[in-house]
Amino acid sequence: MSQRIPLAWLQLKHEKMKLFAAVAGVMVSVVLMWMQLGLMKALFASAVVFHGSMNGELVIVHSQYEHLLHSKVFSSRLLYRLRGSPDVSDVFSIYLAPGEWKNPWNGEMRSIQCYGIETDNASLKLPGIEQHLLQLRNTDVFLYDRMARPRFGDVVGAVERREPVELELNRRRMSLAGVVDLGASFGVDGNVLVSHANFLRLFPERKSGEIDVGVVKLMPGISVVSAQKQFQKVLGKEVQVLTVEQFKELELIYWRSATPIGIIFTAGTVVGFFIGFIVVYQILYTDVTNHLPQYATMKAMGFSDGYLYQLVLGQSVQLATMGFIPGSLIAAAMYAGLRKVTQLPLYMEPMRGVFLIFATILMCTFSGMLAVRKLRSADPADVF
């Protein structure tokens, strides 16, 4: 039995305040779910900005490497074996270590992540890095992370005011050559890029050629997977050859287990889901209860249970739609605002949208199905 009069919609529309409350409930729920999932994704994404900026397809790290803060060095001589391969366009090496940053304004010491990179070719794909590479070859200069946390001092402000910035890094006088965008994350509050030579000056205990990360840029058209297998064989068990995605995943695996971020935001999403669920359930349940005599009458007249279920579930789907659209618009505005303030990579990703459409419909359908159970108590024999 299909409905030729839009009963579901007419019933929703009949009580405007209730409709408004239900739609607002779904909206709040949708906004919450967007925010929680978006923030979770953004926080994790911020942990792999460095990984994603590799100017190559394969990454080589020590076999015991776990994540950026738990690295182990290996000899860069291993990389020379790859330079001869016709599949390889370029190979870069990167040193990394946490350095001691002295805030030039208040003298506080802070730990900052330092990367020693090659300066004749860009080993990192960061916007604007090329223009600084030449300067970076000078003695005791560094590039600063524009998106580092403010606790390192107002370096960006000084750059904008065109003031020279000089400060102590690992008790060594350094001067600023420019800024790039990398961003803070869980374990890292900010980043500094220096040349290999300057890195070894900053960290005299580190030996030249004992690197942390190797980056391999393949010739165009070379299969990444087969190159990975081949290089792993050539280099042996001391190192692991990873794709950029695997390199990122290794970092994420660590942070997922080391921080409760995943649990917190997943819980937040579930809370959002339940808020919507309960609001919609309440509204539909009272609606069914209020109309019980009418529904019993319809049953008596020969309308099937299915017809009435369809009526209630139709209302749930309509509430889902009406809440989802404005909820998503609000979320988009909040994403834009937060992106500006926190520099977090918050974007309305289509896949998340699809997921949330399903979550919202599921949420409303669940409430509808629960409310519909009340219909069973509409006994058509009672209307007489």
Partner 1 sequence: MKTDDSKAIITGAGINFSFGQGELRKQILFDVELAIQPGEIVLLTGPSGSGKTTLLTLIAGLRKLQEGRLDVLGHSLHNASQADLLQLRRKIGFIFQAHNLLPYLTALQNVQVMFDLQPDVTIKEGRERATRMLQQVGLGERMNYHVSRLSGGQKQRVAIARALVGRPELVLADEPTAALDGTSGREVVNLLQSLAREQKRPILMVTHDVRVLDIADRIIEMQDGHLTASSRGSSSAENHPAKGVQNEPDIANVTL
Round to whole Å and give the CA distance between 120 and 133.
7
Task: Please name the residues in contact with 99: beta carbons below 8 A apart, sequence gap of 6 or more.
Answer: 111, 112, 113, 114, 169, 170, 192, 202, 203
Q: Which of 87, 323, 101, 47 is nearest to 218 (CA)?
A: 87
User: How many CB atoms are located within 10 Å of the residue 9 CB?
Assistant: 14
Residues that bind partner 1 (CB under 8 A): 1-5, 7, 10-11, 13-15, 291, 293-294, 296-298, 300-304, 307, 380-381, 383-384
Q: Which of 70, 55, 42 is nearest to 147 (CA)?
A: 42
Distances (CA, A) of 33 to 172, 273, 308, 323: 47, 7, 31, 12
Task: Provide, rounded to whole angstroms, the least separation between the CB of residue 383 and partner 1.
Answer: 5
Task: Provide, rounded to whole angstroms, the least separation between the CB of residue 300 and partner 1.
Answer: 6
Smaller CB separation from partner 1, 13 or 229: 13
Smaller CB separation from partner 1, 2 or 106: 2
Smaller CB separation from partner 1, 155 or 311: 311
Q: Which amino acid is present at 83?
A: R
Task: Provide, rounded to whole angstroms, the least separation between the CB of residue 297 and partner 1.
Answer: 4
Smaller CB separation from partner 1, 206 or 374: 374
Task: Provide, rounded to whole angstroms, the least separation between the CB of residue 324 and partner 1.
Answer: 24
Q: Which of 310, 297, 284, 258 is nearest to 383 (CA)?
A: 297
CB 132 within 8 A of CB 251: no
164 token code pair: 């020279």
User: How many CB atoms are located within 10 Å of the residue 131 CB?
Assistant: 9
Smaller CB separation from partner 1, 351 or 381: 381
Smaller CB separation from partner 1, 19 or 27: 19
Task: Provide, rounded to whole angstroms, the least separation between the CB of residue 4 and partner 1.
Answer: 5
Smaller CB separation from partner 1, 143 or 308: 308
Task: Provide, rounded to whole angstroms, the least separation between the CB of residue 8 and partner 1.
Answer: 10
Round to whole Å and give the CA distance between 195 and 202.
10
Smaller CB separation from partner 1, 1 or 263: 1
CB 90 within 8 A of CB 230: no
Round to whole Å and give the CA distance between 36 and 22.
21
Task: Provide, rounded to whole angstroms, the least separation between the CB of residue 365 and partner 1.
Answer: 22
Task: Provide, rounded to whole angstroms, the least separation between the CB of residue 376 and partner 1.
Answer: 13
